[in-house]
Amino acid sequence: MKNTPETPTKLAGKTAVVTGAGSGIGRAIAGALSAAGANIVIADLHHADAAAQSLRNNGAHAVGITADIASETGSLALAETAQREFGGADILVNNAAIFSSLIPKPFEEISAEEWRRVMEVNTLGPFLCCKALLPLLKQSNAARIINISSGVAFKGNPLYLHYVASKGAVLSMTRSLARELGAYGILVNGIAPGFTLSEGVQANAALVAGARGPSLAGRVLNRDMYPDDLLGAAVFFAGPDAGFITGQTLVIDGGAYFH
Ligand SMILES: NC(=O)c1ccc[n+]([C@@H]2O[C@H](COP(=O)([O-])OP(=O)(O)OC[C@H]3O[C@@H](n4cnc5c(N)ncnc54)[C@H](O)[C@@H]3O)[C@@H](O)[C@H]2O)c1
């Protein structure tokens, strides 16, 4: 079932930068923001141009940029692209992360190198993107940052200690940034998805084998979760209806963790 939560005018004239939108949840969010009327900058290490092209095929204004969001040059390139192509940015969705490629393992088997890279992409990345986009967001009259955390930050799932720690950091960054940026009228909120069958997740058999059954069993709503399940909240946080909400993280998981 395709979820089309918004009218095409809700975000008309706005520009959204969505990281990790070459595939999966990020790509779905970019599509929903675009359907609500926003111009889209898609940033990803892979498939950024193809994802932007598919939005343009549907009549949207979208551009792709191949960039590593965990590098200063990569994050600055997002801001430059938004400025050059659309004259600024109003919405930043920090979605890119290392997740679906991870192999579950006891924490003592996680190398320092793997820990560093997960932290680098999942926490340094959003930090750098917020910094890079800040000058543009300050010029917007309806600026939003939406950070994609995870239900694991609340539940403390085992076998992904680096990932769980990184998503806990994203949750805390949402709160702290909301306090720092409120003075500029920049609202900062988060979404914490439950186990979602994105393309990347579906391609990782070990991840699906370990997480799908327990996720289904722990949910009030007894079905699998897909990227489309997150779109209503993403468009809501990006738009005018969320104009007095900041510092919050919404858990969307079919009723597994009550927050
Ligand atoms: N799928 C789930 O079950 C689930 C649950 C909770 C939270 N999340 C979060 O939702 C987000 C998306 O999840 P997904 O399942 O689509 O993930 P995914 O791993 O399938 O996709 C992540 C995207 O980010 C991109 N990316 C990774 N590193 C990057 C970098 N350094 N620079 C630019 N792009 C980079 C990847 O190329 C990919 O397109 C992530 O933040 C993830 O942690 C996912």
Is residue 257 included in any domain, yes or no? no
**CB neighbours of 86 closer than 8 A, spacing ≥ 6?**
15, 39, 41, 61, 63
Largest CA-CA distance found in the chain, in angstroms, rounded: 50
Is residue 117 included in any domain, yes or no? yes
**pLDDT beyond 80 at 63:** yes
Question: Which residues are near ligand 1 (CB < 6 Å)?
Answer: 19-20, 22-26, 43-46, 68-70, 95-100, 121, 125, 148, 150, 193, 195-196, 198, 200-201
Average pLDDT over residues 92-109: 97
Q: What total of structural domains would you count in the chain? A: 1
**CB neighbours of 209 closer than 8 A, spacing ≥ 6?**
none
**How many Å lie between the centroid of ligand 1 and the Cα of residue 136?**
24
Is residue 4 included in any domain, yes or no? no
Question: Atom 34 in ligand 1: which residue has the minimum CA distance?
Answer: 44
**pLDDT beyond 70 at 160:** yes
Is residue 2 included in any domain, yes or no? no
- Residue 26 CA to residue 11 CA, distance in Å, equals 17
Is residue 123 included in any domain, yes or no? yes
What residues are paired with 62 via a beta bridge?
Answer: 40
Phi, psi (deg, nearest 5) at residue 250: -95, 120
**CB neighbours of 150 closer than 8 A, spacing ≥ 6?**
99, 163, 164, 167, 170, 192, 193
The 10s digit of each residue's pLDDT in 161-202 is 999 999 999 999 999 999 999 999 999 999 999 999 999 999
- Residue 68 CA to residue 74 CA, distance in Å, equals 5
CB of 67 closer than 8 Å to CB of 42: no
Is residue 81 included in any domain, yes or no? yes
Is residue 9 included in any domain, yes or no? no
Is residue 36 included in any domain, yes or no? yes
Testing ligand 1's pocket by substitution, the residue of 17, 65, 99 carrying the most ligand atoms inside 8 A of its CB is 99
State which residues form the domain around 161.
Answer: 15-252
Whether 163 is a known active-site residue: answer yes
Average pLDDT over residues 84-90: 98
CATH code of the domain covering residue 232 = 3.40.50.720
The 10s digit of each residue's pLDDT in 113-148 is 999 999 999 999 999 999 999 999 999 999 999 999
